[in-house]
Amino acid sequence: MTNRITILGSTGSIGVSTLDVVRQLGEDYAVDALTGNGNIELLARQAREAGARLAVTADDARYQDLKDALSGSGIAVASGRSGLTEAAEGPSNWVMAAIVGTAGLAPTLAAAKRGAHIALANKECLVSAGDLFIRAVADGGGRLLPVDSEHNAIFQVLEEGQRHALERIILTASGGPFRTWTREAMANVTAATARAHPNWSMGLKISIDSASMFNKALEMIEARHLFNVRPDQIEVIVHPQSIVHSMVGYSDGSVLAQMGCPDMRTAIGYALSYPSRPRLDVQRLDFTKLSRLDFEAPDEERFPALRLARRAMEAGGLQGAVLNAAKEVALDAFIEGRIGFLDMFEIVETVMDRMVDTPPAASMDDVFAADARARADAAALLARRAA
């Protein structure tokens, strides 16, 4: 059977890689719907090339631009939240969740509820909605396949039959561009410096999140929900070469690792082809050219995001949603040059302190409410600083 796939966020880094993988998978996959936000030219080109049924821009103001760009193609066009929902609820049996940030939560949830298989790049779904999201996938009857390279690596080496022997999950982190910098030097960096990731080519926001290690913080929470492990079973180790994508440790002392060149197409291809392995045209690891593999403990003084993630995991409930929402507001402020790099940590921690008594989420409405409150709180903190 040919699979049909909808790509939420097709114009982003993961979206572009997914379309390449889909092309490589040949007749096994056909594209159903594609969504983007501001990059209308690329979205229209992708939709024509892939023969999509539907193209959606999340930005209502760009609807006419997309309509014009696709005129005569026969491809349906939609926009805004309703357009994203229409794409997510369409007839495809697969959905790649690759919208950046919390904006990806509602459409991915809609896809999960109707039983689509979800290839999950958007970690915010699990960080904010955690068990509620996992339950929505289970109730819908689809599968959840992790695309984040670390989680995909763990998924590849976690032997479900050996769950009882699972001791720990070891997430690797490149350490980002400031791995060896002092705190004083980090205080003055700009978004342009922070986005320069040493190994991976990624979107702007995740690149800066990698530099601050907020990305690893989100991944810790993501791992907790995906693999149903306790917070104390999740370790982070800095591995600057990004060759070992993550590891699983067992009760006999064995550690299983997944390795490869840093290229998201391997993780995407594995997710979409599971349980088979596809043939992919990606660079092969040449061990004779690897001079060394280094590992070092992360410095939680310079990178307090890791400590905040532990705190959110231990508190449970809505603390993940609070951490993520406050982080998104602080990140935007840093990108716009309104605050310094280290200020992001302080803003997130202050908002978490203020919302420490938030009750556990009973429904998605609670998640969206906590998200909105944390954003408002973070925005108020920023306004006070600017005054």
Nearest to 36, CA basis, from 7, 68, 74, 61: 7
Nearer of residues 66 and 315 to ligand NDP, judged by Cβ: 66
Q: Which helix (H) or strand (E) holds 57?
A: strand 54-57
Q: Which is nearer to ligand NDP, 16 or 322 (CB)?
A: 16
Please say whether the beta carbons of 176 and 198 come within 8 A: yes
- Looking at 4, 53, 123, 375, which residue binds ligand NDP (CB under 6 A)? 123
For the chain, the maximum distance between any two Cα atoms, rounded to a whole number of angstroms, is: 63
Residue 325 CA to residue 290 CA, distance in Å, equals 39
Taking the least distance from each CB to ligand NDP, the nearer of 170 and 217 is: 217
Among positions 48, 157, 168, 200, the unique one binding ligand NDP when judged by CB under 6 A = 200
DSSP state of 231: G
Between the alpha carbon of residue 96 and those of residues 259, 262, 273, 313, 355, the distances in Å are 23, 20, 13, 26, 32
* Residue with nearest beta carbon to ligand NDP: 12
Structure tokens that stand for 88 in this block: 């997510």
Instruction: Yes or no: say if 199 and 177 are a contact pair by the CB < 8 Å rule.
Output: no
339 in contact with ligand NDP (CB under 6 A): no
CA 218 to chain centre: 8
Q: For ligand NDP, which is the closer residue by CB, 331 or 384?
A: 331
The 96-115 contact track toward ligand NDP, x by CB under 6 A, reads --xxx--x------------
In the numeric block, the tokens 């205080």 are attached to: 187
Which is nearer to ligand NDP, 123 or 239 (by Cβ)? 123
Site for ligand NDP in 212-251 (CB under 6 A): none
Name the residue nearer to ligand NDP (CB basis): 99 or 170. Answer: 99
Cβ closest to ligand NDP, residue 166 vs residue 264: 264
Q: Are 334 and 340 in contact (CB under 8 A)?
A: yes
Does position 14 interact with ligand NDP (CB under 6 A)? The reply is yes
Cis status, amide bond into 275, omega within 30 of 0: yes
Partners of 6 in the β-ladder: 95
Stretch in the footprint of ligand NDP (CB under 6 A) among 37-45, 182-190, 226-234, 287-295: 37-45
CB of 313 to ligand NDP, least distance (A): 18
What's the start-to-end Cα distance of the chain, in Å? 60
Of the ranges 6-14, 87-95, 279-287, 331-339, which one interacts with ligand NDP (CB under 6 A)?
6-14
Residue 152 touches ligand NDP, criterion: CB under 6 A: no
Site string for ligand NDP, 64-93 (x = CB under 6 A): ------------------------------
Question: How near is the Cβ of 28 to ligand NDP at its closest, in Å?
Answer: 23
> Counting contacts by CB under 6 A, is residue 172 touching ligand NDP?
no
C-beta of residue 276 within 8 angstroms of C-beta of residue 199 = no
248-267 mask for ligand NDP (x: CB under 6 A)? Answer: ----------------x---
CA angle, corner 210, sides to 206 and 213, nearest 5? Answer: 125
Determine the Cα–Cα distance for residues 17 and 282; give it in Å rounded to an integer: 11
Contact between 128 and ligand NDP per CB under 6 A: no
Beta strands in 65-212 (DSSP E): 76-79, 94-97, 117-120, 144-146, 166-173
Out of 4, 31, 36, 174, the only residue in the binding site for ligand NDP (CB under 6 A) is 36
Smallest gap from Cβ 357 to ligand NDP, in A, equals: 28
Chain residues that interact with ligand NDP, rule: CB under 6 A? 9-15, 36-39, 58, 98-100, 103, 121-124, 148, 200, 202-206, 264
